[in-house]
Homo-oligomer: A and B are copies of this chain.
């Protein structure tokens, strides 16, 4: 009864999110667009992004097909044992997970490649209308991501009644996210690095100069990497956290009439989305016309509303208060991690300033000090995740057996409750970043550019918080996926009539072996992506050199001479698709290899090692990257000798290294961890049946 109510509520709130998204979408489209140059350049960006998405999705469709056939044959159990029906359910859920994620990404790209033009033109009228164009464009993505994920999970569970199918749905979303994030990340940084290297460093022409053949690819990259990639990432985390919670809640509710724990998961997720919708509607710049304030006020409103609404619901529907406490702990710690991240990347704080100062001694010092602060930034995040897992576990332990791990999953649900506003803020970033480029290429003048600069800078500041948040959320989610894995193994073990597991003992060498291998995966995965960017950027640099050499008048900026933007987009696209597959498959196959060698015990260790080392690498790479970016900007604002100084040259080197750190490898690690956790859960029956040790 309560469950039905909250499942219905989830559908209603999802619909509400879609309505808000649709209205914003119409609103953004209706904004005036008169500047022909902006329309033309914006059109190039839009076409480039569409081409990339089409080619990426066609590669991914093949992957989904192959993986779907594999699932049909083997999961949840080999088809000759379990019969056709459960495998079809699983395969279809998987395909839907991938499809829903793709739809959300598609919507995001569609609006982002329009909102950027609208925001650029709106900037002529002042900061307030430009901010609104950017923010509402981002909000379309935010609402679409969270609405789709909530609706999808609710639909799959309601229609199949099977939490394994929900895990299958989640795996579909994760697979897509892994490739979207990694592929988009490689695309965006290939273009960004090549454009900067030839444009800014070799030729000394400004960023976003239309003569640069890679400039459109760079702008396309912001969309496919940051909008579509980040959206897929948080779609994935959101779905995964709900799935893990639902797996455990269903196990706890088994045999009870009320299904109250399952209802609580839907309730909290739905109210989180509702709070995000209200937060998005409330975000205003206020009298100070400060865009950072507007973005943060939306986040804080959502946080407050979520805590309030869930407290009221807990009171009226008789959920356990301890679960509410766990979700509040998760949310609070998410914010704290975000703020810690902010400390390490904010140019008013000492890390950024010290790196800027060290840069005066040469690029080696930029790298050394930036890496060092990135290393240190790992500590608060890991302590935060550890403490929130510990507190939410202990808080819910008195509720009975199985509730302790469920408490951790509720902390993850709590942390991710505000994901709607987080994605909105995050998608705002690349929209206004693009708007800045369009304002420059459209010749709107310095005053307008400075308006878009301010919007862009707010996007960067908020991004630090949302990135830390995304990693923290992934951390808690994968810990609860570990709980889901155990729950799945025990269900399968009971069916097979073999012994289940109660935990994983570190001193068991099979567990330890798995842990060591699992810990090595994130660095290897990161390296494969970075080498992919490196190789791809070298190809693109060669192409840019060719164009400047062969196209007469391009370098001098002769009127009517245009570079061949499309060639650079092509290189970025095909390179990204070529480089992303091996890294993704490496992660999936190493999970399978460890599982078939060491069985579930090795997988328990593997997941743990993977989570721990993954969090360390994700955090340090994202933060070092953000810190170098801001150090460079800080120097460009006039500090340490300003542009052209030795410090600036060194800072550009730092920023170039930091780009794939913060936009390719770092944020892809989240997804890598989630995919591996889901693969482990889904294949658990097979590991139980066949393994060497």
Contact = CB atoms under 8 A, between A and B. Distances in A.
Interface of A: 193, 197, 201, 358, 361-365, 367-369, 371-376, 378-379, 382-383, 385-387, 389-390, 393-394, 404-405, 408, 479, 482-483, 486, 502-517, 519-520, 523-524, 526-528, 530-531, 533-534, 537-538, 541, 604-605, 608-609, 612-613, 615-616, 620, 652-653, 656-657, 660, 693
Contacts of A503: 505-508
B613 A405 contact: no
A616 B404 contact: no
Contacts of A519: 382, 612-613, 615-616
B604 A506 contact: yes
A361 B201 CA distance: 11
B382 A520 contact: yes
Contacts of A526: 372, 375
5 contacts: A365-B538, A386-B516, A482-B507, A503-B507, A512-B608
Contacts of A608: 506, 512, 515
A693 B197 CA distance: 54
B657 A390 contact: no
Contact of A363 (B363, B372, B517, B609): B363
A111 B414 CA distance: 63
B389 A509 contact: yes
A507 B520 CA distance: 21
A557 to B, nearest CB: 25
Chain A, interface SS category = helix
A361 B197 contact: yes
Nearest to A612: B519
Nearest to A609: B612
Contact of A653 (B363, B371, B502, B615): B363
A671 to B, nearest CB: 17
Given A375-B526, A512-B386, A612-B612, A506 B504 contact: yes
Contacts of A541: 361
A362 B513 contact: no
A33 B139 CA distance: 79
A84 B361 CA distance: 55
B538 A361 contact: yes
A523 B375 contact: yes
B657 A367 contact: yes
A359 to B, nearest CB: 11
Contact of A389 (B405, B479, B512): B512
Number of copies: 2
Nearest to A532: B372
A91 B271 CA distance: 60
A493 to B, nearest CB: 16
B509 A404 contact: yes
A653 B367 contact: yes
A525 to B, nearest CB: 9
A483 B512 contact: no
B376 A523 contact: yes
A369 B534 contact: yes
Contacts of A612: 515-516, 519, 609, 612-613
**A201, A369, A510, A534 — which one has the most chain B CB atoms within 10 A of its CB?**
A534
A152 to B, nearest CB: 28
A387 B504 contact: no
Contacts of A616: 519-520, 523, 613, 616
Contact of A365 (B512, B514, B534): B534
A509 B396 CA distance: 12
A672 to B, nearest CB: 13
Contact of A510 (B361, B390, B531, B604): B390
A479 B508 CA distance: 11
A368 B653 contact: no
A530 B371 contact: yes
A523 B372 CA distance: 8
Nearest to A529: B372
A652 B509 CA distance: 42
Nearest to A383: B517
B653 A509 contact: no
B504 A375 contact: no
A362 B656 contact: yes
Contacts of A657: 364, 367-368, 371
B534 A358 contact: yes
Given A197-B361, A363-B653, A382-B520, 11 more contacts: A364-B653, A367-B367, A378-B520, A386-B517, A405-B507, A482-B506, A502-B505, A503-B505, A515-B612, A519-B612, A609-B612
B534 A507 contact: no
A474 to B, nearest CB: 13
Contact of A524 (B379, B515, B527): B379
A483 B506 contact: no
Contacts of A530: 368-369, 371-372, 375
Contacts of A509: 389-390, 393-394, 404, 408
A165 B438 CA distance: 72
B372 A534 contact: yes
A538 B373 CA distance: 17
A526 B608 CA distance: 23
A32 to B, nearest CB: 41
Contacts of A504: 505-507
A52 to B, nearest CB: 23
Q: Which 6 residue pairs of A and B lie closest in terms of their CB atoms, listed nearest first?
A: A503-B505, A364-B656, A375-B523, A375-B527, A386-B516, A372-B527
**A372, A374, A376 — which one has the most chain B CB atoms within 10 A of its CB?**
A372
Nearest to A660: B368
Contacts of A517: 379, 382-383, 386
Contacts of A520: 378-379, 382-383, 616
Contacts of A527: 371-376
Contacts of A512: 386, 389-390, 479, 608
A84 to B, nearest CB: 34
A482 B507 CA distance: 8
